[in-house]
């Protein structure tokens, strides 16, 4: 039976997020598990007069390539796609894995090598109009410790919302932090300061991520000092790192420990010079998302949390830190948490204190 929620979500992706127009070139990029949503996006795009290319990815192929490809094959990894992506006007990326840990045993150096050679393709996507979402799969549901039906309801409830109203509410956050020099984060085992002076906030209200609900800034690269503890695990390449503690001096992570997979954490932080500096300070504002489900698309939006990404800063945020890494780590502030803007308490226990 057709799920009418796919129709609604496809419409949001095409009309709110991408604002597509007849004659444009659209790429739909997904796994084969995302077929119900891919089908609906494709049909609506064709009816709207777009030229559509569907790029279906197979996780097992990706893993095999990383493990077995020669240097020459790595260098030519994107040979067939570069021209297609270059002429695209917009991209819909639908994550729908059948196993979220399929890369966990791949050698991290080969994984990072693949990311480096793939970065030009990522730049082609992010230079255009793009939006990313998830489609409910058993793999996502298992990670969230939900049944598939429960996960479906959660996903569609979080994605099919009034993004225009969300955007208007974010103006209050912009009003606070666009005028701020020094931000201080205080919480469990945490006292961290950094500067966002002169940086303008980016409102995330459904243009690039569905679900959405955050405002983010690029910290001044050499400004972070202090320490932070992350209650929630950080996951990369299917590897879960628990109990992360980072210590910063003049912007750089000078000490990184973890209760689980500490060696992996430091290996990622040593990917390049920029990986030990902050690229993003994000404020979660979607209070309809309350549970951590090991899915960064949802988790970084949890209302009452913040996330700090080590590594690359998004160019449109004014940040100048560059890295092949961009790794979001989520800090719980709903219990004994505080945010200060130039010394003034502006959020306590996850709730903003508006004047």
Span 59-107, pLDDT tens digits = 888 889 989 989 999 988 888 888 999 999 999 999 999 888 888 788 8
pLDDT of residue 169: 92
pLDDT of residue 1: 53
CB contact set of 10 (below 8 Å; sequence gap of 6+): 37, 40, 41, 44
Q: Are strands 129-134 and 209-210 parallel, antiparallel or unpaired?
A: parallel
Answer for the pair 226, 248: CB distance below 8 angstroms, yes or no: yes
Answer for the pair 310, 270: CB distance below 8 angstroms, yes or no: no
Distance of CA 196 to the CA centre of its chain: 20
Angstrom distance (rounded) from CA 343 to CA 186: 12
Angstrom distance (rounded) from CA 102 to CA 8: 30
CA dihedral 315, 316, 320, 321 (to 10 degrees): -60
pLDDT of residue 346: 97
Distance of CA 230 to the CA centre of its chain: 17
262 pairs with which residues across the strands? none
Q: Please state the domain extents for the chain.
A: 4-159, 163-352
Radius of gyration of the chain (CA): 20
Dihedrals phi, psi of 310, to nearest 5 degrees: -80, 145
Answer for the pair 6, 34: CB distance below 8 angstroms, yes or no: no
CA dihedral 189, 324, 234, 139 (to 10 degrees): 170
Angstrom distance (rounded) from CA 154 to CA 135: 11
Q: Are strands 90-95 and 129-134 parallel, antiparallel or unpaired?
A: parallel
pLDDT of residue 11: 97
Dihedrals phi, psi of 61, to nearest 5 degrees: -65, -45
pLDDT of residue 2: 67
Q: Which two tokens stand for residue 113?
A: 């090598």
CA atoms within 13 A on the CB side of 14: 28
pLDDT of residue 88: 96
CB contact set of 169 (below 8 Å; sequence gap of 6+): 285
Dihedrals phi, psi of 135, to nearest 5 degrees: -115, 140
What does DSSP assign to residue 14? Answer: I
Cα 292-297-299 angle, rounded to 5 deg: 20
The answer to whether domain 4-159 has CATH 3.90.1300.10 is: no
Residue 347, classified by CB atoms within 10 Å of its CB into exposed (0-12), middle (13-18) or buried (19+), is buried
Residue ranges of the chain with pLDDT lower than 70? 1-2, 355
Angstrom distance (rounded) from CA 70 to CA 76: 10
Neighbour tally for 169: CB within 10 Å: 12
pLDDT of residue 237: 85
90 pairs with which residues across the strands? 26, 129
pTM, to two decimals: 0.81
pLDDT of residue 148: 94
Of the candidates 280, 138, 135, 305, the one whose C-alpha atom is nearest the C-alpha of residue 211 is: 135
């Amino acid at each position: 039976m057709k799920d009418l929620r796919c129709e609604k979500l496809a419409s949001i992706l095409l009309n709110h997020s991408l604002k597509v127009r007849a004659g444009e070139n659209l790429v739909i990029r997904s796994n084969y598990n995302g077929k119900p949503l891919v089908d609906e996006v494709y049909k609506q795009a064709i009816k709207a007069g777009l030229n559509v290319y569907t790029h279906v990815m197979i996780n097992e192929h990706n893993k095999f390539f990383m493990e077995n490809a020669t240097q020459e094959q790595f260098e030519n990894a994107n040979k067939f796609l570069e021209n297609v992506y270059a002429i695209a006007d917009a991209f819909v990326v639908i994550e729908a894995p059948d196993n979220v840990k399929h890369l966990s045993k791949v050698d991290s150096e080969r994984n990072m090598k693949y990311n480096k050679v793939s970065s030009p393709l990522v730049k082609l996507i992010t230079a255009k109009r793009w939006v990313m979402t998830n489609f409910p799969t058993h793999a996502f549901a298992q990670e969230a410790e939900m049944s598939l039906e429960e996960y479906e309801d959660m996903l569609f409830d979080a994605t099919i919302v009034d993004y225009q109203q969300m955007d208007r509410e974010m103006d209050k956050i912009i009003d606070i932090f666009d005028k701020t020099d020094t931000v201080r984060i205080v919480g469990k085992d945490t006292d961290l300061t950094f500067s966002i002076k002169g940086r303008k906030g980016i409102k995330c209200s459904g243009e690039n991520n569905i679900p959405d609900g955050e405002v983010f800034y690029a910290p001044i690269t050499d400004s972070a000092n202090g320490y932070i503890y992350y209650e929630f695990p950080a996951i990369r390449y299917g590897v879960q790192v628990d109990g992360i503690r980072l210590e910063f001096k003049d912007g750089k992570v000078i000490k990184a420990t973890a209760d689980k997979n500490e060696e992996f954490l430091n290996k990622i932080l040593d990917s390049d010079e920029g990986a030990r500096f902050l690229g993003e300070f994000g404020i979660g504002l979607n209070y309809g998302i309350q549970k951590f489900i090991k899915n960064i698309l949802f988790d970084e939006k949890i209302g009452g949390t913040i996330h700090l990404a080590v590594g690359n800063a998004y160019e449109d945020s004014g940040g100048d830190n560059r890295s092949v890494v961009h790794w979001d780590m989520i800090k719980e502030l709903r219990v004994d948490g505080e945010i200060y803007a130039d010394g003034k308490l502006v959020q306590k226990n996850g709730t903003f204190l508006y004047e």
